[in-house]
A and B are shown apart, each in its own frame.
Chain A
Amino acid sequence: MSIDLRKWKALIVDDEELARKILREMLSTHPEIKVVAECANGMEAVKAAAEFAPDLLFLDVQMPKLTGFDVLELVDATKLAVIFVTAYDQYAMKAFDVHALDYLLKPFSRDRFESALTRAKQQKPEARTEPAALAAAARPAGQYLERIVVKDGTKVTLIPALKLDYAEALDDYVSLVSEGKKHLKQQTISGLEMALDPALFVRIHRSYLVNLERVVRIEPYAKDSKVAILTSGVKLPVSRAGFARLKKLLDDRS
């Protein structure tokens, strides 16, 4: 990425006006950086990121509707450098440390701001973290994903984990089926499996993760293979290892 040849485009995302203002003020001494937009919430941020394709993102962690982590999952994180800004969130801070990400703790000094900016400029795109892994690290131990954020074009959908029927692996994407609708998300099925409550979601097949509450029954299909029938009538293949996992989970429950 050529830093000096063109202006850097920065996006400031924070739900507090004063918090945005102080970032803008500190950026005002950097003529090489242009603030293309200020966003007061995650939805606006996702939209602005698609519109302006910024190079630098100042991202507050705690915001209404979408958190900073959600936003990171929904923007093309490989193309921009992120500086997280937070007041106090022990889990978020732990996650940043784990992923060697720089972050600003409110309130921050000019010196601290400058060093974070310098580091962000030097960040190599390939060294950037996978957003889902970062979000997972920011969850307290024993807590699982409560909702999945998906972007269909410019529209952001929140799928509560309990309303997810099943997920199907499609190369680099997963197809999430909820309330009769399919949503595509760029994520691995293993990554999704790890984020969801293992007492509720079970990997019945290499390509299928199912919500246990939706399974009506298991039927033999052919020699050595079975199918799971869901409340919606959908049939999903169950592998031998998947059947063992399913059985163990049901045994643990009863």
Chain B
Amino acid sequence: MADQFNIRKTLWVSLWLAWLLFAALLSVWLVSTWGMTWRSAIALAVPLSALAQGVAWSARYSCRSNPIGRTGLSQLFFTHIASAVVLSFLWVIVGRILARWLDSGLGWSGTALQFSRLQLQLFGLGFGYYLLAVAFHYALYAQEASRQAQERALESSVRARDAELSALKAQINPHFLYNSLNSISALTSIDPARAREMCILLADFLRMTLGLGEKALIPLQEELDLLDRYCAIERVRFGERMNVEQNIQEAAKSCLLPPLLLQPLFENAVVHGIAQMAEGGSIRLTVGQMDGRLALVVENSWDPEAVSARKKNGVGLKNVQRRLEARYGKEAFLEATTEENLFRVRLSLPAETQGAQ
């Protein structure tokens, strides 16, 4: 809407300017080339210029009803040339009547005679000016169309990204849920208290996952709380096989980052690392803040010979990478490396805190 208004305003201003400039130039031409008196020249030029601007403006409607891509070339040509001829002719007629009136009505003798000598050139001028106006309107339309196309493209890409993000946020691995429920099912008879504890952990995890998904950025501490629940649940399943170490700089805990960035990495570490190792392994999270950057490293033991290790790992990582890109562009990066029995994902992003966003 605002853009529409701006275009209108620009058009009006240019219309007024064109009127004055056209009138001035026309007057000078009438005086210098045709020897008219300044009085007659101005009296003719000002209304004729106004009329010319009006007609030039009206070319807009003719252009609109004959859009350039969708109208045949011959029709386009014929319509505008015919309009130019007819309108210029009428324009000259008006000038002629005006000149006569100046001559006989106001007694500015000689004006009508001088006018009759230049009316053919004036017709040419009107003709050219009209075609110029047509070209101008088409250019304006083309510019606006490309701007709108750009806007639409941008809008749709933003919408696609939003959809992807919300889908990601809602993503809870069904495998994780079923296995957790199976653990609860087993615990109900073996250890009812632990079964209840597990129910609560699972409920907390679900609540936090769904809640965090709605936010754009969260403090690292909240993601760590979520990871605590996640690891506690998985430890019920894997017992001694799963070992988690954390080394987190105190100052980094208030840094902001997109939610559920680390959780998928931990899930990868469990599914493709720990779960594939008969004797178990560890996950280590290291977070540090330095020089305005937040560095996060997730390492896990893995078995390079395990079947599932490579392929599926890619999906979770790619999602995290895409979300980082969506939020930070080139300001963030993700790097995954393997080293014998270690799988390492390094994230680096700008360190933002609540106050200085």
Interface stretch, picked from B11-19, B129-137, B181-189, B320-328, is: B181-189
Q: Is A21 an interface residue (CB 8 A)?
A: yes
- Binding site secondary structure of chain A: loop
| CB atoms of B278 and A15 under 8 A apart | yes
| CB atoms of B175 and A16 under 8 A apart | no
Q: A62 to chain B: which residues have CB within 8 Å?
A: 275
| CB atoms of B182 and A107 under 8 A apart | yes
For chain B, residues 270 to 293, give those with C-beta under 8 angstroms from any C-beta of chain A: 275-278
Closest-CB distance, B333 to chain A (whole angstroms): 30
For chain B, residues 238 to 295, give those with C-beta under 8 angstroms from any C-beta of chain A: 238-239, 275-278
Q: Is B303 an interface residue (CB 8 A)?
A: yes
| CB atoms of B182 and A87 under 8 A apart | yes
| CB atoms of A107 and B190 under 8 A apart | no
- A19 CA to B186 CA in the complex, in Å? 7
| CB atoms of B305 and A107 under 8 A apart | no
Q: A106 to chain B: which residues have CB within 8 Å?
A: 178-179, 181-182, 185
Q: B277 to chain A: which residues have CB within 8 Å?
A: 64
| CB atoms of A107 and B278 under 8 A apart | no
Closest-CB distance, B262 to chain A (whole angstroms): 23
Task: Bits for A50-83, please: 1 = Cβ < 8 Å to B, else 0.
Answer: 0000000000001011010000000000000000
Q: Is A221 an interface residue (CB 8 A)?
A: no
- Interface size class of chain B, counting residues whose CB lies under 8 Å from the partner chain: 20 to 34
Q: Number of residues in A with C-beta < 8 Å to the partner?
A: 26
Closest-CB distance, A11 to chain B (whole angstroms): 17
| CB atoms of A25 and B190 under 8 A apart | yes
Q: Is A105 an interface residue (CB 8 A)?
A: yes
For chain B, residues 154 to 189, give those with C-beta under 8 angstroms from any C-beta of chain A: 174-175, 178-179, 181-187, 189
Write the chain B residue with the least CB distance to A18. B186
Given contacts A64-B276, A64-B306, A146-B307, contact A19 B178 (CB under 8 A): no
Task: Bits for A105-141, please: 1 = Cβ < 8 Å to B, else 0.
Answer: 1111000000000000000000000000000000000
Q: A43 to chain B: which residues have CB within 8 Å?
A: 278
Please name 28 pairs of A and B residues whose Cβ atoms are closer than 8 Å in the assembled complex, sorted by A: A15-B275, A16-B179, A17-B239, A18-B190, A18-B236, A18-B237, A19-B182, A19-B183, A19-B186, A21-B186, A25-B190, A43-B278, A62-B275, A64-B275, A64-B276, A64-B277, A64-B278, A88-B174, A88-B175, A89-B175, A106-B178, A106-B179, A106-B182, A106-B185, A108-B185, A146-B307, A147-B305, A160-B305
With A15-B275, A64-B306, A106-B185 known, 12 other A-B pairs at CB within 8 A are A16-B179, A18-B186, A19-B183, A19-B186, A43-B278, A64-B277, A64-B303, A88-B178, A89-B175, A108-B185, A147-B307, A158-B305
A residues bordering B, Cβ < 8 Å? 15-19, 21-22, 25, 40-41, 43, 62, 64-65, 67, 87-89, 105-108, 146-147, 158, 160
